Chains A and B, each alone.
Chain A
Amino acid sequence: MEISSPFSYEGYYFDSLVLPDSVILKVSNREAKLKMTYINEFSLSVITSDSLSVPLTINRDGDTIEFYTYSSLYGNQVRTDGLIFGNLPGASVGQPVSGYSIMRSTWKVHENSITVICLTKTSSLGTVNNIQEFSGTLEGYIYDMNDQPVTRLLQTYYYFVLHTPITLNSDGTYLTQIFRRFPTEQVGHLTVKEYNFEGWNGSVNIEPFELHDIQPDTVVVQDIHLKNNDYVGTAVENNHSPRNNTLTLINYPNPFNTSTNFFVQLPDGMKRKAGDISIYNMRGELIITIPFKNGASVRWDGKDRNGNVMPSGIFYYQLTIEQQRMKTGSMILLK
């Protein structure tokens, strides 16, 4: 059995220069120390028997697993984390069948909080951000109170919260993953929640429905009907581009070795105007002039207008539009 428990930004934040001193895994009064190679500052990766200091037997039918994390960085503060699985009272995830592992992923930053506990098919799911291969998938269309399909939800994140969030699809198709908790799971109410990093600050109920016999890696088609339309308009109204009133000149990379790029973005009112970028050496001699295209990158290969390769040094560039100097900067050529 493999157990994963990534916990980032939770409780206390591990300094990335100072690893936690130790993590103790405790199962039914038996305990083992996690080998340090399996710990980083943000998460515990997949835990297998190889990652424990001594063998630890876990009851496949059900057990309680606790993690005790010690960090001298925080005065040897101990952090406790854990889960119950299987057939025990209070179990948050079912008994893993052959070929499955338990995944526990917790995200707590600021006021947000997401915890996912599920059975996963591959051990790699234990690592953070490799969750798209979670168990089953839910697809369907979402309808507002007037039975009109909801579309163009481009700006904000919404989830259906079941036992796990569901991702909204901007063209009106919902796509999400359902995690099996128990082999004969029946699922009841879903809630749509708005997620924007400020916390779970919006919640829209949807009509309840049931999902039957959700198995890992299955796709369930289920349309969803909102109980109110509060969030729909907001999301649509956010779908516009602000007017650009600034002139942008970006030079990258800098320093550079073989070539460097200039990206120019003109304000909306100047978009039709032509211009160029002139490059000078430290003596103020013009090396080359390069026309630019608005909203695109142009490249300088470190050569003058005669094709001679320039030596290492500092060069200056100047953006000129209709003979008016707009912006200047310097860059370093390294050979």
Chain B
Amino acid sequence: MRKIVCLLFFVCLPTFGQRADFFREDVTFRLDGFFLNVEGYYWFLNHSSKPVHSNIFYPFPNYSGEKIDSIRLYNLSAGRETEFKRESKYGISFDLSIASFDTVLFQVGYRQELKGDSAVYILKTTQGWGQPIDRAEFRLVVPDSLIVKKFSYPPDKSYLIEKKKIYIWKMKDFMPVRDMVYYF
């Protein structure tokens, strides 16, 4: 089996050898004006005939030193929690192993304290994978009392349900050109 370091999700490190492909993400954001809760699902694919071992770097925004806690990482394909390493304020890193021609689904969650009037989810470093994501879906859930004044990406749909506003983004062949930012 091969070992590589591919700095992730967004930031990809010098990678040597075979690597996994990151091809889908599905992220739900819950914003209340004080915290941004992020729950993301990320699919990786090994389209080679050999198992792949990678180390993935998952970045956090840290523009104003906002505290990030409640970090959780779960390998849904393996059915177990996955250990990760906190890389200071920059993010976390974790090991990714994929059998040949297999896919792996990870759940990554965290809570970010918000100090300003915006919330950021790092997307643009996805460019580091060198190819568009086949499919990306994002959902933002906010209380209806919170006004989101501006989005870095215009939502495709929005709903008002049970005193919650829900915004939906659905992208195909998505190569982010900017981060997901909510100004409120």
Kindly supply a per-residue 1/0 record for chain B positions 73-109, scoring 1 wherever the CB is within 8 Å of any chain A CB and 0 otherwise: 0101001110001011010010101000000000100
Contacting residue for A334 out of B26, B85, B159, CB 8 A: B159
CA distance A252 to B97 in the complex (A): 22
Q: Does B76 contact A132, Cβ atoms closer than 8 Å?
A: no
A residues in contact with B136, CB < 8 Å: none
Interface string of B143-184 (1 = CB under 8 A from A): 000000000000000010110101010000000001101000
A134 at the B interface (CB under 8 A): yes
- Contacting residue for A253 out of B26, B61, B76, CB 8 A: B26
Instruction: Report the minimum CB–CB distance from B160 to chain A (whole Å).
Output: 10
A304 to chain B, nearest CB (A): 19
7 A-B pairs with CB atoms under 8 Å apart are A17-B179, A131-B14, A154-B97, A167-B4, A176-B17, A241-B80, A248-B81
Does residue A95 face the partner (Cβ distance < 8 Å to B)? Answer: no
- Is A255 part of the binding interface, using a Cβ–Cβ cutoff of 8 Å? yes
Given contacts A9-B90, A157-B5, A244-B80, contact A334 B16 (CB under 8 A): no
**Is A169 engaged at the interface, CB distance under 8 Å to the other chain?**
yes
A132 and B85 in contact (CB under 8 A), knowing A197-B55, A197-B93, A312-B161?
no
B130 at the interface (CB under 8 A from A): yes
Residues of A within 8 A of B16 (CB): 131-132, 134, 159, 164-167, 176-177
**Complex: A252 Cα to B179 Cα, angstroms:** 23
**Cα–Cα distance between A250 and B26 once the two chains are bound (Å):** 14
Chain B residues near A282 (CB, 8 Å)? 162
Q: Which residue of B lies closest to A314 (CB)?
A: B162
Residue B68 at the chain A interface, CB threshold 8 Å: no
Whether B80 contacts A132 by the Cβ 8 Å rule is no
Contact between B14 and A169, CB atoms less than 8 A apart: no
Given A132-B19, A334-B161, the answer on whether A167 and B3 have CB atoms closer than 8 Å is: yes
- Shortest Cβ distance from B161 into A: residue: A312
B128 at the interface (CB under 8 A from A): yes
- For the complex, what is the distance from the CA of A279 to the CA of B34, rounded to whole Å? 31
B28 adjacent to A255 (CB under 8 Å): yes
| Interface hub of A114, A124, A175 (most chain B Cβ within 10 A) | A175
Cβ of A153 under 8 Å from chain B: yes
A175 CB contact (under 8 Å) in B2, B28, B39: B2
Does B181 lie within 8 Å of A17, measured CB to CB?
A: yes
User: In this assembly, does B11 line the interface, its C-beta being within 8 Å of a C-beta of chain A?
Assistant: yes
Segment at the B interface, from A24-32, A85-93, A103-111: A103-111
CB distance from B130 to the nearest CB of A (A): 4
Distance between Cα atoms of A110 and B161 in the complex (Å): 44
Confirm or deny: A170 has a beta carbon within 8 angstroms of a beta carbon on chain B.
Answer: yes
Q: Closest chain A residue to B85 by CB distance?
A: A197
Q: Flag if B79 contacts A158 (CB, 8 Å).
A: no
- A177 to B168 CA separation, bound complex (whole angstroms): 43
A81 CB, min distance to chain B CBs, angstroms: 16
Report the Cα distance A40→B97, complex, angstroms: 30
Q: Which of A267-311 contact B (CB under 8 A)?
A: 282, 294-297
**Contact residues in B for A56 (Cβ distance below 8 Å):** none
**B13 partner residues in chain A, CB cutoff 8 A:** 107, 114, 128-129
Interface presence of A195 (CB below 8 A): yes
A332 an interface residue at 8 Å Cβ cutoff? yes
Q: Per-residue 0/1 for A73-117: is the Cβ within 8 Å of any B Cβ (1 yes, 0 no)?
A: 000000000000000000000000000000001010110001010
Shortest distance between the CB of B116 and any CB in chain A (Å): 11
